[in-house]
Amino acid sequence: MIGDEADDHLRIDVRPDLVSLTLQTAAVANVTRRDVQLAHAITEVLPEFGLQNSPVAGPRPNQVLELAIDTMDMSVIRPFWRAVLGYGDEPAYAGEPNSVVDPRGQGPSIWFQQLDEPRTQRNRIHFDVTVAHDEAAPRIEAAIAAGGTLLSDAAAPSFWILGDADGNEICVCTWQGRDRA
C-alpha cells in the first residue's frame, strides 16, 4: 500500500465534488520518479474504495505549473514578489533561491529567469492577487518595503497596481468597490 511512503510527497485538496491528490517531492520541489510511482500505486487502489480517476475530464496530466518572470537582476525583484504574494523561498534550493513558492502549495511557483540584456517591449501580462480586504494594506506595504512601487491606487479599494523594480505589474485586489450588477 502507500502509507508512510507518501509522506513529504502527497497533498490532498478536498472539495464538495472532487478530491485532488497531488504528488511532488518536497525536498527537491519537483516531480520525481518516486512521485510518478506513487501516483500509479494510488490510481490502482482507487477502485477498492469505490472511487474513480477523474470521471468527468479523464486523467489529469502530470504537470507542475510555474510562472516565469524575465529580469536583469532577480535579487532585486524576488523579494517584492515574495512579499506581494505572501510566498516564501523555494525550500530545496542551495544558495540564493531563484523561485518563490506558495507555503501551502496551492498556487504556482514563480521563478525568475536571468536575462543577459533588457527587454525593450512592455509586459504583455500581469498578475492579479485577490486577498481579504484587511490583508490588502499589509500586503501592499510589504511589497513596497521589498522594493516595489505603487503605480496606481485610483481604483482602490477594488484594486491597487504595483510594480517591481523591472516594471512587472501586479494588481492587489479585494471584493470591496466591485460592481455587483
pLDDT in tens, 140-164: 999 999 999 999 999 999 999 999 9
What stretch(es) of the chain map to CATH 3.10.180.10?
66-173
* pLDDT value of position 177: 81
* pLDDT value of position 180: 46
Q: Does 37 have pLDDT greater than 80?
A: yes
Are 129 and 170 in contact by the 8 Å Cβ rule? The answer is yes
The rounded distance, in Å, linking the Cα atoms of 52 and 173 is 37
Mean pLDDT of the chain: 81
9-13, 14-18, 57-61, 127-131: least confident range: 57-61
* pLDDT value of position 94: 64
Q: For the segment 76-120, what is each residue's pLDDT rounded down to a tens digit?
A: 999 999 999 999 988 766 667 788 988 887 788 888 888 888 777
Of the pLDDT bands very low, low, confident and very high (cuts 50, 70, 90), residue 40 is confident
Do you find a cis peptide bond into 157, omega within 30 degrees of 0?
Answer: yes
Q: Which residue has better confidence, 56 or 48? A: 48
Q: Which fold has domain 66-173?
A: 2,3-Dihydroxybiphenyl 1,2-Dioxygenase; domain 1 (3.10.180)
> Can you say whether residue 131 is alpha, beta or left, with left for phi > 0 and alpha for psi between -120 and 50 degrees?
beta
The model's pTM: 0.65
* pLDDT value of position 116: 84
What is the DSSP code string of 94-144? SSS-SEEE-TTS-SPEEEEEEPSS---SPPS--EEEE--HHHHHHHHHHHH
Of the pLDDT bands very low, low, confident and very high (cuts 50, 70, 90), residue 181 is very low
* pLDDT value of position 3: 56
Contacts of 152 (CB under 8 A, 6+ apart): 160, 161
Query: How do 66-71 and 18-23 pair as beta strands?
Result: unpaired
